[in-house]
Amino acid sequence: MKRSEFKKLTDERLIFLDGATGSNLIKRGMPAGVCPEKWILDHEDIFVGLQREYVEAGSNIIYAPTFTANRIKLKEYGLQDDIVAINRGLVALSKKAAGDKALVAADITMTGEQLSPMGKMEFEELIDIYKEQIRITCDAGVDLIVVETMMSLQETRAALIAAGEVCDLPVMATLTFEADGKTLYGTDAVTAAVTLEKLGACAIGANCSTGPDQMVDVIRDIAAVVSIPVIAKPNAGLPSLNEQGETVYDMDEPEFAEGIRELVKAGASVIGGCCGTSPSYIKALSEALEGQERVLRQEQLSRKIESEGIRRLTSERKTVSFGLDSPFMIVGERINPTGKKKLQEQLREGNLEMVLSFTQEQEDCGASFLDINVGMSGIDEKEMMLKVLEEVTMTTSLPLSLDSSHVDVLEAALRRYPGRALINSVSAESEKLEKLLPIARKYGAMFILLPLSDAGLPASLEEKIAIIEKIVEKALELGMTKEDIVVDGLVTTIGANPNAAREVLETIRYCKANGLATICGLSNISFGLPERSFVNTAFLTMAIRE
């Protein structure tokens, strides 16, 4: 299935998913403690029967039971060497059940191993584990991929990156959120949604954790900030133990269907059930919405996105939003060794004391974002950038601007950064335009557009605007939007060019008129002049006014 086909399908109507698998198989004879994938393959009639019931109940997409069929989980049963046969066999069973009446999604989830530094799993190792399973399921003929029941935004990112490097199938992603609206690792729904949509998810939402009534706020928050379909796959209410010691849920089919209706009102358009649900729940849901699927979806699409025109950058735990008319924001740029001998010495020693001190000081002083630059001689810049990222992201929740003159360093940092970063910067210089811009697109980053070309500084305002237009056009061709771009006004000193301030102000005017956000290096305007603070203050006041 192509992404365009998925978009057309989900634009046309509400989409029904399936319900729980494991709990229903237990009711049908699967004992505790066995490898569920192996048991399913040994009892295929039971599993195919269950999934056919879901299809008959109205499921448009069913999940292949590959949920824990990754190398790490299979190793617990000594079955890691059978990973190909197991995943292929499980996909084949779901395809048999679906026939031509439903699509089949490869089901991918967490491995159970924590990522470094909290655990021993390295990020690239996790990507490779996901690549292996995704490649097998794609070869087996799944129609799409779902990454579900995720508690970690970074692990979800790893799965999306893996999928994008293995195939071009649509990828849906759902995370589980606690009662406070955050994942177990502290990511809120908006931050997860913004990050994953920009990274390439075709649908994003929530599953498990709660019943539909407690999922409404999460779904509403996600729907307010994304342009892709929103998924809701809640439990059948709250769990408890009955007299036989079995886990039961407190929401029956009609109550569950009514709860899903509220989630549709909140913005969900891909809907199903998780723990405690069965084919009868999906049947009740599809019957409750029968004949309304297209109307309800068109009503959703006709609503104006509340945040249209808003730009968002994220860390793993926070989103910072701004628009063209927002108050100006400060990017802290002290984490840069240029001209800082003591910081250079510490970096060469692998000491990050000053880096972390600068991080806290800048946050305390009101910075909205922090710029990270470790470019200097005597160190491995890529290695140091990744080390600094790891420490800084544990110290602050502010989103980061990643700054390097080397494309490979920026790509390594973007790949590892657990949110949506800002790239500082992309110019019209050949290497940056041809290599870095596609990387920004791949990892869903926002970027600072620096109006420089291979010829150097633009000779006039007209040339600067021409460079801006060239880079914007290239970005749009790659599928990016104007909201992904922040234009650097390219401030130079009025000591050398008396028209420098005027040209920057004209650039800001041009950008705002054309829907582009702007940024500038304030102190450059007064370089080489006495009483610099007065010059900076006057210029900043005029720039904000524009």
In this predicted structure, the answer to whether residue 245 has a pLDDT above a threshold of 90 is: no
Size of the chain in residues: 546
In this predicted structure, the answer to whether residue 479 has a pLDDT above a threshold of 90 is: yes
Is 242 or 53 the better-scoring residue by pLDDT? 53
Contact yes or no for 543/504 (Cβ under 8 A): yes
Q: Helical H runs in 110-241?
A: 123-139, 153-166, 189-199, 212-223
In this predicted structure, the answer to whether residue 480 has a pLDDT above a threshold of 90 is: yes
Q: What are phi and psi of 470, to 5 degrees?
A: -65, -45
Q: Tokens representing 372?
A: 């990270």
Q: What integer pLDDT is reported at residue 248 of this predicted model?
A: 85
Rounded average pLDDT over 169-192: 97
Q: What integer pLDDT is reported at residue 25 of this predicted model?
A: 96
Helices and strands of the chain, counted as H and E runs: 22, 19
At CA 148, angle to CA 481 and CA 296, rounded to 5? 65
Query: Could you report the per-residue pLDDT of 102-143, keeping only the tens digit for each?
Result: 999 999 999 999 999 889 999 999 999 999 999 999 999 999
Q: What is the DSSP code string of 461-525?
A: HHHHHHHHHHHHHHHHHTT--GGGEEEE-----TTT-TTHHHHHHHHHHHHHHTT-EEE--GGGG
Contact yes or no for 458/489 (Cβ under 8 A): no
- The confidence band for 307, taking pLDDT boundaries of 50, 70 and 90, is low
Rounded average pLDDT over 63-83: 97
Q: What are the residues facing 446 on neighbouring strands?
A: 422
Q: What integer pLDDT is reported at residue 195 of this predicted model?
A: 98
- The confidence band for 430, taking pLDDT boundaries of 50, 70 and 90, is very high
Q: Tokens representing 500?
A: 């420098």
In this predicted structure, the answer to whether residue 156 has a pLDDT above a threshold of 70 is: yes
Mean pLDDT estimate for the chain: 96
At CA 347, angle to CA 344 and CA 352, rounded to 5? 120
Strand, coil or helix: what is 447? strand
- The confidence band for 396, taking pLDDT boundaries of 50, 70 and 90, is very high
Q: What integer pLDDT is reported at residue 417 of this predicted model?
A: 98
Q: Tokens representing 483?
A: 């909201």
Q: pTM of the entire structure? A: 0.96
Burial of 145 (0-12, 13-18, 19+ CB in 10 A): buried
